Amino acid sequence: MSTTRIPFVDLQAQYRPIRDEIRQALDRVLDSTNFILGEEVARFERDFAEYLGAKHCVALNSGTSALHLALIALGVKEGDEVITTPHSFIAPAEAISYTGARPVFVDIETATFNLDISKIRAAITRKTKAIMPVHLYGQPVDMVRLMEVAREYCVPVIEDAAQAHGAECLIKGDRWKKVGTFGDIGCFSFYPTKNLGACGEGGAVVTDSQIIFEKIRTLRNHGQKDRRYYHPFIGYNYRMTAFQGAVLGVKLKRLDAWVAARRSRAALYDEGLRDLPLKIPKRAENLRGAYHQYVVRTEDREGLMKYLGERGIETGVYYPLPIPLQDAYRHMGYKKGDFPSAETCAKECLSLPIYPELAESDIRYVCSGIRDWARSK
């Protein structure tokens, strides 16, 4: 057994250099005794919208709430259909189910782990009320291509960018645009391990639509619009706490540098894993990932995981079973073989450690571990 330990995530390493600033921000909230929404959250909303290049942001208590309110704001309800991916954390499918609508799963591309855009047209019916792509692992869906399909059928798009703060797609010329700002609504999670993580739960929606913005702002606060204790419709308690707004404000200033550090670490992995019997993430000229995760594929996933584990390298499997094959969705009647690419990825994907503070020497150690594993086979 090795004495080296490379954790899969290391939030301590992120916290150490910003400890004082975080504590000052938390103190500010304590001193204000203004614990819910308020100026800390409003400031973060302005800053996050500006960071992304969106007109509006509504801060919420989780990414799941963001997806849920986005669907309600678009009027999605029982009997409707929403197209989404079978290979993801379950939240997007759950949010669709909360509304009574039916998730329609379209298989992914194994090379990108994301929705296969060429298969979306065939899944659109008169009942389709939205398309919900997920920028999984921080790898952007090609939103320029996806929006062409959505516009052709006049179907609104909700982007699940929970894992993709800072990921970008190339639009005209040399202009890059951040994911979450292509569709009608972009949804983000600030779960602590995300590229931008709170010290607790958090989420947000962004939109350019004044109408959607006002609707979601009202929905997050029990349906109260202009006057307190007057409720034009039934809403939710999905508000962000001031502590999270304050913490996120501190971290947002570092997000660009953190995303750049993730990219440079991903490039080191690309280089170190080249020519191995292992599929590494696809890079496209027009997409810039945010590398929430660095995910490789191999048929001997369990063997590689064990081999690296014995060398003190933590890895993870995101996600081991496609959503339609989960017991939670058994009632929909899907069976093995319905989503060949998602099933392959669920069997073969392995996430390696990646975070801004991960040392280059650690990446070299992981790569040499993988080289040794390949040689030992």
Q: Which residues contact ligand PLP by CB under 6 A?
A: 62-64, 88-89, 91-92, 134, 160, 162-163, 189, 191, 203
- Smallest gap from Cβ 299 to ligand PLP, in A, equals 25
Question: Which CB atom, from 171 or from 328, has the smaller least distance to ligand PLP?
Answer: 328
Q: Tell me the C-alpha distance between 358 and 325, whole Å.
A: 35
Closer residue to ligand PLP in complex, CB, 231/236: 236
| Shortest separation between residue 62's beta carbon and ligand PLP, angstroms | 3
Least distance CB 197 / ligand PLP (angstroms): 10
Nearer to ligand PLP, 88 or 315 (CB): 88
Q: Between residues 191 and 213, which has the closer beta carbon with respect to ligand PLP? A: 191
In the chain, alpha helices (H): 11-15, 19-32, 38-52, 63-73, 91-98, 143-152, 210-219, 242-273, 301-310, 340-348, 360-375
The closest residue (CB) to ligand PLP is: 63
Burial of 325 (0-12, 13-18, 19+ CB in 10 A): buried
Q: Which is nearer to ligand PLP, 63 or 249 (CB)?
A: 63
Give Cβ neighbours of residue 226 (< 8 Å, ≥ 6 apart): none
Q: Say how far apart CA 302 and CA 288 lie, in whole Å.
A: 29
Minimum gap (Å) between residue 248 Cβ and ligand PLP = 12
Q: Which is nearer to ligand PLP, 84 or 128 (CB)?
A: 84
Q: What is the C-alpha separation between 210 and 191, in angstroms, rounded?
A: 27
CA distance 84 to 237: 26
**CB count, 10 Å around CB of 81?**
20
Q: Smallest distance, Å, CB 374 to ligand PLP?
A: 30
Closest separation in Å from C-beta 200 to ligand PLP: 10
Provide the minimum distance between the beta carbon of 244 and ligand PLP in the complex, in angstroms, as a whole number: 11
Choice between 160 and 168, CB closer to ligand PLP: 160
Strand partners, 205: 58, 187
Residue 59: CB minimum distance to ligand PLP, A: 12
Indicate left, alpha or beta for 312 from its phi (over 0: left) and psi (-120 to 50: alpha): left
Classify burial at 335, counting beta carbons within 10 Å of its beta carbon; exposed 0-12, middle 13-18, buried 19 or more. exposed
Tell me whether residue 159 or residue 362 sits nearer to ligand PLP (CB atom).
159
Rounded Cα distance between 35 and 213, Å, is: 22
